[in-house]
Amino acid sequence: MEGIYVFLGFIVGFLVGLTGIGGGALMTPSLIFLGMTPLRAVGTDLLFVTATKVFGTAFHHKMGRIRYDIALRLIAGSLPAIAIGGLLLRVIDKNILNAHLTLLLGIVLLLSAVISLIKKEIKPPIRPRMSYLYILGFVVGLTVQFTSVGAGVIVSFTLINLARISPAEVVGISLFYGLLLSSMSFLNYALMGSVDYGIALTLILGSIFGVLAGTRISTRVESEKLKKMINLIIAAIGAIILLKHVL
């Protein structure tokens, strides 16, 4: 069974290195399909995401591509969401959470995939304000707290289309913000005992080689077509989860 998780970590890492997307959106549902409870899958994925974002954040920091003023406003907005999420995770019965987290995950996967597919086609006439970053941070923080998915997609979409920030800076912001958010969110699951550290470590080890392999060949393939394909897969996974929940 351990080999399956190494392979899963490699595949997800490879896709992230190749296209920059798909990490949490592929990992959490994969863990659920492999028999892990939704709560444990989210907690384990948050640890996996935290570890994998460290390298990307360090690289973009070295290149000077992180707007810390924006990232810190986002995390400030997320702090209340993390506190509220942590409280709800402790108050609500675990059986109820496991039953409804799959529904929420399916919705977020489908929504994030659609946003990614249309992100370059929407330019809403909204005047950007720094205060909106706190609201965005709260919404994303609450979403990630319960699904481990959405930070990169939702933040990137909003910053590019509403704040008109360059894509290069957006990647750095979403990585640094995602690192802080996933690490803080992970703590709530760790305190609940809803993290499989052995599986997380196995996934991380597999992903290191995957990211390196994906990054090396990323210049030889048409990444945009691959991104669309991955987003279609994520949308399909979200639809399947929703159908299974309804039926």
Tokens 């996967």 sit at which residue? 109
Q: Report the C-alpha dihedral over residues 233, 160, 69, 138, rounded to 10 degrees.
A: -60
Q: Does the pTM of the predicted model rise above 0.75?
A: yes
Dist. CA 21–CA 34, nearest whole Å: 21
pLDDT tens digits, one per residue of 69-106: 999 999 999 999 999 999 998 898 888 888 888 888 88
Question: Could you read off the pLDDT tens digit of each residue along the chain, which spans 247 residues?
Answer: 678 999 999 988 887 766 666 677 788 888 988 999 999 999 999 999 888 888 778 877 887 878 899 999 999 999 999 999 999 988 988 888 888 888 888 888 888 778 777 755 555 555 667 788 899 999 999 988 888 887 777 787 778 767 667 766 777 888 889 889 999 999 999 999 999 999 999 999 998 888 778 767 766 666 667 667 777 777 888 888 788 766 6
Q: Report the C-alpha dihedral over residues 8, 108, 120, 229, rounded to 10 degrees.
A: 40
Q: Could you tell me how many helices (H) and strands (E) the chain has, helices first?
A: 10, 0
The predicted pLDDT at position 204 comes to 92
Of the candidates 87, 16, 85, 83, the one whose C-alpha atom is nearest the C-alpha of residue 48 is 16
Of the candidates 124, 185, 127, the one whose C-alpha atom is nearest the C-alpha of residue 151 is 185
User: What is the phi/psi pair of residue 63, to 5°?
Assistant: -85, -5
